[in-house]
Amino acid sequence: MKAFFTEDQLLHDPQQFMRLGRIMKPSDLPSRAHALRDALQARGVTVEEPADYGRAPLEGVHSVDYLDYLESAYGLWRALKMPGVEPGIEVLPNLSPFYSGVPGVARPPCPSPSIVARTGYYISDLSCPIGPDTWRSILRSAHTAVAATDSVLATGDAAYALCRPSGHHAHRDRAGGFCYVNNSATAAHRLWERHGRVAVLDVDAHHGDGTQNIFYARNDVLTVSTHADPAGYYPFYTGYAHERGAGAGEGFNLNLPLPHGTGNDVFMQAVSEGVKAVSDFAPEALVLALGFDSYKDDPISVLRLDLEGYRLIGEKVGALRLPTVIVQEGGYLVEAIGPALEMFLRGFESAR
């Protein structure tokens, strides 16, 4: 198996995020990527630098106006001139514009050219600060997913994208939950361009709301997510079992929310149900959105998986024997994510 990562992904170095009304130390640390890369190298997996694909692959799932915003936001923010007010060290929203949107239906571009207005429009929460090098890291993280996808398209095998920042909370035109560009959706779109029938299975602790939203009205991309019950957990507003898709996509979205405190056994029942849905859909390729924030000691987890759980997930997904792009999503206990990846790969490769 090949893996892809570039040092540019370490440039994003957030200084803050909001949790329960307090500015906290960031969870998405560059050291996360070091731990995962070390685990790959210890397993003998070659880690390759992705090519620079520019913005074109991202435009398959994101609006041009949103990408324009991400690329230019920090420079415009630092140039902001307001009497008696200096801009903060990072771009953060202070507006939450009401939008009664329909999943799968595009919003218009932000009607105001103000960087303050656009920040409120395109960033949905206070976990996505934009610093001087954030755009470069976002872009190169997406390139990592694209490179892994191209490897799978060339070989019909599997490849791992060490994406950081993560992506599954990023909507077509909105950042959230540490995610700016949807790497899993970008990979799925690129697979779809060749194969025409693709599934995304998300096993992160959080619902993959951005991925769901991007494909919600389509019947050629199946989206499945196992995650903690969102009634009391991010992203709160989506991830419920009744959300099944819209229009042509009705029946092509499956959410499997789990009680908080769920451990290996119940989680694996949900994964088995998700894998069966993927098998019944009979896709030509698979994207696995892989998160380790379901680990029992993760600082933001409400689930209770142990390391053996990730081996079991690997076995179950590997047994599908589909061309598979594995895209890294969450996992914030740096000491655990390397061993978790090693266990996942052990199970995945044994089942293949």
DSSP at 202:
E
Count of CB atoms situated within 10 Å of the CB of 42: 12
The 10 Å Cβ neighbour count of residue 38 is 14
Between CA 348 and CA 317 the distance in angstroms is: 7
Peptide bond into 83 cis (omega under 30): no
Q: Please, are residues 137 and 14 in contact by the beta-carbon 8 Å criterion?
A: no
| Residue position matching structure tokens 């790497």 | 183
Q: What secondary structure letter does DSSP report for 13?
A: -
Pick the catalytic residue: 12, 143, 168, 169?
Answer: 169
Known catalytic residue at 62: no
Closest by Cα among 117, 329, 114 to 205: 329
DSSP 277-323: HHHHH--SEEEEEE--TTBTT-TT----B-HHHHHHHHHHHHTT---
What's the CA gap between 329 and 33, in Å, rounded?
11
How far CA 312 is from CA of 83, 120, 198, 346, in Å, comes to 58, 41, 23, 9
CA distance readout (Å), 133 to 194, 229, 258, 326: 33, 34, 36, 25
DSSP 243: -
As given in the structure block, the two tokens for residue 111 are: 């009607």
How far apart are alpha carbons 244 and 223 in whole angstroms? 9
The two tokens of residue 173 are 């035109």
Cα 20 from Cα 264, distance rounded (Å)? 28
Question: Among all residues, which ones are annotated catalytic?
Answer: 169
